Amino acid sequence: MRRVMIAGNWKMNKDIKESTVFLEEYCKRIVSDKSLKYDLDTRTEVILFPSTFSIYPMSCYKQDIGSKISLGVQNVHWMDSGPLTGEVSTLMALHAGASYALVGHSERRHVFGENDLIVKAKFEACSKTGLKPFLCVGETENERNMDLTGSVLEKQVSAAISDTVSCIGEDHLIIAYEPVWAIGTGNSASSKDAQKACSHIRSVVRDIKGLPASEMAHVLYGGSVNLSNSHEFLLEKDIDGLLVGGASLDPVIFAGIVKNTVLTRKEVQGNDM
Ligand code: PGA
C-alpha cells in the first residue's frame, strides 16, 4: 500500500525565525491529537519545503522537539560544486537536513525558463545523490483549452524519468500533477479531472518503467489545495497526496489538512490500528 504524502511548498516566504515558530505551532496541534499518531508514524508522511536558509535550523529544531516532519529543498543545481554563483548542490541540501527536492515546479519552468533538459539534469542529480526528487508537471491554461493535457504530461514525465540512473530505487518515484492554471489562483482542478491526470501519469510511468514501478510511484495533486477541498482529492484512487502552496503557510490550516488526510485515509482504507 502506498503511503500518503502531504507536502507544503513555502516558496519565497518565512525567514528562519518564522519557520521554527511555524514548526512549534504545527507540532503543538498534531502531537496533542493522539488519534493521529499511528498514521503519522506509519503511513502518512508530512514534508515541508521552506527557504534554503531555514532547512538546517528547522532540521535541528525538529530533532529537539521530536517531530517526524521531513524537509525538502525548493531548488538545486545538477552540478556537485563549481563556479555557479547563487546555486546549491544536492549534497549541500542533504547535509543541511533535506531529504527531498522540488524539481520542475511550474514557477521554475515559467518564471526562470527551466526546460525539460534542465529538469532532467536536476532530477538525475537528485536521484544519484539520494535526495528524493518531487517531479512537478502540469499543463498551462492554453494547453488545457487546446486539449493537450495528456500529451504535455507524457512529454514532461518521460523527459525527466526515461533512462535515469538512480540510486534511490523506483519506489521513490514521486510526481506531482500541478496544472499551471490552478497554482496560486484559488481555482483548483476538480477531483475527477485531477484523478484522470494522475491516472494518466501512472500509465506513462508504467510504459517507461514497468508495472511494479508505476504501482509504487507516488502521484500527488497540487494547485489551490485548501482545508475544504483537500479531502476530495484524497478519495481518488490514483492520488497519493497533496502539494500545498499558500495554504501550507499557516500552521493551523496546514495541521487541519494533515488531520483531514488521516481521517480520509481511515475512511478509504479502514482503521487497522
Ligand atoms: P498553491 O501552490 O497551493 O498556492 O496553488 C501550489 C504549488 O505551487 O505547489
pLDDT, position 270: 66
What pLDDT sits at residue 32? 83
* Nearest-atom index, ligand 1, CA of 188: 5
The pLDDT of residue 170 is 59
User: Among 49, 111, 243, 249, which residue has the most ligand 1 atoms within 8 Å of its CB, making it the best to mutate?
Assistant: 243
Cα 273 from chain centre: 27
77 in catalytic set: no
pLDDT for res 266: 80
Alpha carbon of 127 to those of 68, 92, 207: distances in Å?
A: 23, 14, 20
Ligand 1 midpoint to CA 273 (Å): 33
Whole-angstrom Cα distance, residue 25 to residue 199? 35
Cα–Cα distance, 245 to 175 (Å, whole number) = 16
Q: Which pLDDT belongs to residue 273?
A: 42
Which residue among the candidates 77, 105, 200, 218 is catalytic per the annotation? 105
- Measured by CA distance, the residue closest to atom 1 of ligand 1 is 245
Q: Are 77 and 84 in contact (CB under 8 A)?
A: yes
Residue 33: exposed, middle, or buried by beta-carbon count in 10 A (0-12, 13-18, 19+)? middle
Give the CA diameter of the chain.
53
Ligand 1 center–CA 105 separation, angstroms:
10
Nearest CA to 236 out of 258, 254, 217, 221 is that of 221
Judge contact between 240 and 193, C-beta under 8 A: no
Closest of 228, 267, 223 to residue 246, by C-alpha:
223
Low-confidence ranges of the chain (pLDDT < 50): 273
The rounded Å distance from CA 224 to ligand 1 centre is 6
Of ligand 1's listed atoms, the one at least distance from the Cα of 248 is: 3
Structure letter (DSSP) for residue 10: -
Binding-site residues, ligand 1, Cβ < 6 A? 9, 178, 183-184, 222-225, 243-247
- Give the whole-angstrom CA distance, residue 170 versus residue 251: 32
Q: Which of 225, 229, 248 to mutate to test the pocket of ligand 1 (most atoms within 8 A of CB)?
A: 225
- Of 77, 178, 200, 236, the active-site residue reads 178
Distance CA 235, CA 158 (A): 27
Look at residue 22 in the predicted model and tell me its pLDDT: 97
Q: Is residue 178 annotated as a catalytic residue, yes or no? A: yes
C-alpha–C-alpha distance, residues 11 and 159, integer Å: 24
The answer to whether 122 and 100 have CB atoms below 8 angstroms apart is no
d(CA 70, CA 100): 8
Q: For residue 154, how far is its CA from the centre of ligand 1 (angstroms)?
A: 21
Give 34-80 pLDDT, tens digit per residue.
889 889 989 999 999 999 999 999 999 999 888 899 999 999 999 99
DSSP structure string for 202-248 = HHHHHHHH-HHHHHH-EEEEESS--TTTHHHHHTSTT--EEEESGGG
Q: Are 161 and 154 in contact (CB under 8 A)?
A: no
